Amino acid sequence: MTWTTFLTILSVIDFVLVAAAIVVILRRQDEPRSMLAWILTLLLLPVLGLILFMMAGELRIERTRQKLRKHRKRLQPLLTQTIEKLESDHGQRGSKHSAKPLIEIATRLSGHLPTTGNDVAIYHEDEENFVAIMEAIEAAEHQVHLEYYIFQPDETGKSLRDLLIRKVKEGVKVRLLVDYIGCWNWPRSFRRSFLEGGIELSLFDPVVPWRGRWRVNLRNHRKIVIVDGKVGFTGSQNIGDEYRGRLAKFGPWRDTHMRIEGPAVHHLQEIFVEDWHYATRQKLVSSECFPDVQADGDQTVQVIASGPDSHARTMHHLLLSSVSGSQESVSIITPYFAPDTTMIVALQSAAYRGLRVQLLIPSFSNHWLTLWAGRSFYEELIESGVEIYEYHEALLHSKVVIIDDSWGMVGSANMDQRSFRINLEVTTVLYNDQLALNLRQDFDRLLIKAERIKPRSFKDCSFRDSMVLGFARLVSPLL
């Protein structure tokens, strides 16, 4: 076979596959910009465009959910009762915010009802949170479930691994689910140590091209720990030295995490069980996973799972509804700010309505392109009245939203396209004045050490900065 013949055959195959991929894109009926971008990529980058589409073009996870939600039908009448109680409590305290619209939309989107009777502790210091997780695992009697995007094979990761292995020897069942891409740097010896120690380990959505698994973009970004089905941890902190501020490369690191006791832990467990089933095909529905949980506090919590396994863009809708329904103020902490047009308009509209809208973003990042993409939106946001601050003291990794100083959200989702559309995330909504005050006070402490960004236009930037801003904004839909 001559080279001419070979190239002709290759071109024909590429043409057929590109045509098939374009048909898939047109039938998917996604956002027009995304559809057009992929079609141009396929047409302008022969072969390479196909490889990229196979690796990152799919934006959905299809999975059969276990029948975990039968009990929700029995709980449905409690939704009205919960809303009435919250409105009554807020009304007695003189709050202008009604929780009803958000609870209704969050329940429709997530399928999880808000639960009362929870006790929530919020951690703003990473070491404090890590110690609390270790102590809870130390006290485990039956099982420990962990789900992380990143679990580093460093001193922090090894110390947690060693504790988990010791608990296995004590008769505790330990299951660990980590994201394949997030933990790509694991040495074989580190992975083998979990298995040899008796820990049930699974990798979420591994990339195995020879088995037809090309997908790299749909990642499990959740951070969840459940101990004995009664104590849960969730928020934004991964496992690793860097997330405890121990690496000179990044310096101090700051996350917001939570410890939950009460009925909301069952919803965290549901999320883990469904993700574990997707990764392993093992069903964990049992009384051991879902023991009777007593009401340990007086706080109302709603756990919301979002990701490409849902037809609705849950996190996107939740944020848009929260900002649009705000009546006094919107305060947001996000480490990665690369919003879409609708999110920008929602923030601008809130500011135009006379609300105080504040964004707190780190001044340096481990993902510099996302940092500059966010900065490309500063000018138009500031012109509408949005206050933007950059924090210098640490790498700010928290994901926090505070609305009207009366309720808040803490979770794993960033304000970017990945969290809106293609990452599996978990967010906890806290319908409690005291917890909202806790988040507000921490926000204000951070503002003291942050710099407010002043209005400036592209013409005031250096040529280099303007080019970086323009390029970052161009690729922001892909970040």
Question: Residue 457 has what pLDDT?
Answer: 55
Backbone angles phi, psi at 91, to 5 degrees: -65, -40
CA distance 372 to 150: 24
pLDDT tens digits for range 26-53:
776 666 666 776 677 777 777 777 766 6
The residue annotated as part of the active site, out of 223, 230, 266, 316, is: 223
Answer whether 302's CB lies under 8 Å from 329's CB: no
Q: How many helices (H) does the chain have, and how many strands (E)?
A: 16, 19
For 81, counting Cβ atoms within 10 Å of its Cβ (0-12 exposed, 13-18 middle, 19+ buried), the class is exposed
C-alpha count within 13 angstroms, C-beta hemisphere, residue 351: 19
The confidence band for 72, taking pLDDT boundaries of 50, 70 and 90, is very low
Q: Is 154 a catalytic residue?
A: no
Question: Residue 290 has what pLDDT?
Answer: 81
Q: Is 257 a catalytic residue?
A: no
| Closest residue by Cα to residue 415 from 306, 326, 284, 300 | 306
CA distance 90 to 273: 34
Q: Identify which has the larger pLDDT, 313 or 355.
A: 355
Answer yes or no: is pLDDT of 150 > 70. Answer: yes
Q: Is 459 a catalytic residue?
A: no
Question: Residue 375 has what pLDDT?
Answer: 86
Beta carbons within 10 angstroms of residue 99's beta carbon: 25
3-state DSSP helix/strand/coil % of the chain, to nearest 5: 45, 20, 35
Question: Residue 135 has what pLDDT?
Answer: 97
CA distance 25 to 18: 10
pLDDT tens digits for range 442-476:
999 999 999 999 877 555 777 777 777 777 777 66
Question: Residue 397 has what pLDDT?
Answer: 93
Answer whether 423's CB lies under 8 Å from 307's CB: yes
Answer yes or no: is pLDDT of 187 > 90. Answer: yes
pLDDT tens digits for range 253-283:
999 999 999 989 989 998 998 899 888 888 8
The residue annotated as part of the active site, out of 145, 221, 230, 316, is: 221
The residue annotated as part of the active site, out of 179, 228, 275, 416, is: 228
Answer whether 309's CB lies under 8 Å from 61's CB: yes
Q: Is 449 a catalytic residue?
A: no
Backbone angles phi, psi at 98, to 5 degrees: -100, 130
Question: Residue 207 has what pLDDT?
Answer: 72
The residue annotated as part of the active site, out of 90, 112, 277, 397, is: 397
DSSP label of 422: I
Q: Is 223 a catalytic residue?
A: yes
Answer whether 109's CB lies under 8 Å from 318's CB: yes
Question: Residue 55 has what pLDDT?
Answer: 57
DSSP label of 402: E
* Range in 87-96, 131-140, 224-233, 429-438 the model is least confident about: 87-96
Stretch (H or E) spanning 201: strand 200-204
Q: Is 399 a catalytic residue?
A: yes
Q: Which amino acid is residue 149, in one-letter code?
A: Y
Q: Which amino acid is residue 38, in one-letter code?
A: W
Answer yes or no: is pLDDT of 378 > 50. Answer: yes
Instruction: Please state the pTM of the whole predicted model.
Output: 0.84
The residue annotated as part of the active site, out of 97, 145, 316, 399, is: 399
CA distance 169 to 188: 22
The residue annotated as part of the active site, out of 126, 404, 405, 442, is: 404
Residue with tokens 């979990």: 194
pLDDT tens digits for range 323-369:
998 999 999 999 999 888 899 999 999 999 999 999 999 988 777 78
